[in-house]
Amino acid sequence: MTLVALEGVGKRFASGTQALAGVELRIEAGEFLAILGPSGCGKSTLLRLIAGLAAPTEGVIRRAASRQVGFVFQDPTLLPWADALGNVRLPLRLAGVDRAEQEARAAAAMAAVGLAGFERAWPRELSGGMRMRVSIARAMVTRPSLLLMDEPFAALDELTRHRLNDDLLGLWAGSGGADGTTVVFVTHSVFESVYLASRVILMAARPGRVVAEMPVVLPGGVPGGAAAPRPAGFRTSADYAALCRQATEALERAMAP
C-alpha cells in the first residue's frame, strides 16, 4: 500500500529559492526509506512536505486516509520546562488521551529506547544522545504509521550513533517491520543509509531533485527491510563494505555533470 505519493512536487520559497523540483516519490507501507543527499539539497524541505508542515508550490501530494505521523527533528526540540516523561507524553496529551494512559504509554516508549529510570530527569540533565532518544520516544509514543526523521543522529559520536542505529532498527522491526511503522530517514551519510534502509533514494541540489534510487539487497538476496536488526558483525563485514561502495558509486554517477 502506498502511504504517501508525491507527483511532480516542487517547492519554491518566497525568497525565490527553488528548493525542490519535479519530485516523484512513493512511500510504501512498512518500508525503511533513507533519503541521502548533500547539504542544502532540500532533504528537510522534502520531509516537511511529506509531514504536511508545508505545502508544495507545484504538483500534488496524496496521502493514505488514516495516518499518524511522528517527526524527529534535526535537534531534539524538547520542552526545557518539562521532564523527560512530560516531553514524551506531550503528543498523547495534545490528543486528549487520559492522564494515566499517557504516563503508562510514555514510560513504555522510554523503556523501548533504553531510558527507563530517567523519566523524571530534566532535558538539561541528559546527554545529547539521551535527549535524542527522548525525542525518538516522543515520536514513537503515538505508534505512528509514518515516522519521519531528519538527520537525528548527525550530531552524535560514531559509537553512540551505531548503538542508536541498532536501537532504531530494533524498534522498527519490533513495530511489525514490514507491516508496522514506515520510516523515512534523512541522512547525508552513505554508511548510515545503507546500514538502516530497505531502500535509498539519492538527491542532488540546485534545484533539489531525486536523481537515483537503490533498493538495499543484503547478501543472499535478502531484502534490506527483512533483515532488521542487522546480523551481528554486519557493520564490519565485506558485504556491508560492498553495499556502501555500490551506493557511493551510484551517488557519484548521480552527481556527475
Ligand X SMILES: Nc1ncnc2c1ncn2[C@@H]1O[C@H](COP(=O)(O)OP(=O)(O)OP(=O)(O)O)[C@@H](O)[C@H]1O
- Chain residues in the site for ligand X (CB under 6 A): 13, 15, 17, 19, 37, 39-45, 188, 208
The Cα angle at residue 236 between residues 230 and 238, in degrees rounded to 5 = 95
Output 123 or 129, the one with its CB closest to another protein: 123
**Bridge partners of residue 23, in order along the sequence:** 9
Of these partners, ligand X, another protein, Mg ion, none, which one is at the site of residue 109 (CB under 5 to 8 Å by kind)?
none
Of these partners, Mg ion, ligand X, another protein, none, which one is at the site of residue 95 (CB under 5 to 8 Å by kind)?
another protein
Size of the site for Mg ion (CB under 5 A): 1
Residue 56 Cβ vs ligand X, minimum distance, rounded to whole Å: 13
Of residues 28-67, which lie at the interface with Mg ion (CB under 5 A)? Answer: 44
80 belongs to the binding site for another protein (CB under 8 A):
yes
Output 35 or 146, the one with its CB closest to another protein: 146
Candidate residues 28, 58, 75, 103; the one interacting with another protein per rule CB under 8 A: 75
Pseudo-torsion of CA 188, 194, 196, 201, nearest 10°?
60
For residue 249 the three cell numbers come to 558509486
Part in contact with another protein (CB under 8 A); list of ranges 9-17, 24-32, 58-66, 85-93: 85-93
Instruction: Name the residue whose CB lies closest to ligand X.
Output: 44
Candidate residues 45, 102, 142, 193; the one interacting with another protein per rule CB under 8 A: 142
Distances (CA, A) of 156 to 89, 152, 182: 24, 9, 24
79 belongs to the binding site for another protein (CB under 8 A):
yes
Q: Where are the alpha helices (DSSP H) in 126-217?
A: 128-140, 158-174, 190-196
Output 38 or 174, the one with its CB closest to Mg ion: 38
Part in contact with another protein (CB under 8 A); list of ranges 68-76, 185-193, 203-211, 213-221: 68-76
Distance, in Å, from the CA atom of 115 to the CA atom of 171, rounded to the nearest integer, reads: 14
Residue 80 Cβ vs ligand X, minimum distance, rounded to whole Å: 23
Residue 42 Cβ vs ligand X, minimum distance, rounded to whole Å: 4
The Cα angle at residue 197 between residues 188 and 155, in degrees rounded to 5 = 35
Pairing of strands 58-63, 2-12: antiparallel
* CB-count burial class (<10 Å; 0-12, 13-18, 19+) for 246: middle
Of these partners, ligand X, Mg ion, another protein, none, which one is at the site of residue 53 (CB under 5 to 8 Å by kind)?
another protein
Reference 28, options 142, 146, 136, 141; nearest CA is: 146
Output 82 or 244, the one with its CB closest to another protein: 82
14 three-class SS: coil
CB of 70 closer than 8 Å to CB of 140: yes
Residue 186 Cβ vs another protein, minimum distance, rounded to whole Å: 15
Q: In the Cβ-directed half-sphere of 194, how many Cα atoms lie within 13 Å?
A: 23
Of residues 94-123, which lie at the interface with another protein (CB under 8 A)? Answer: 94-95, 122-123
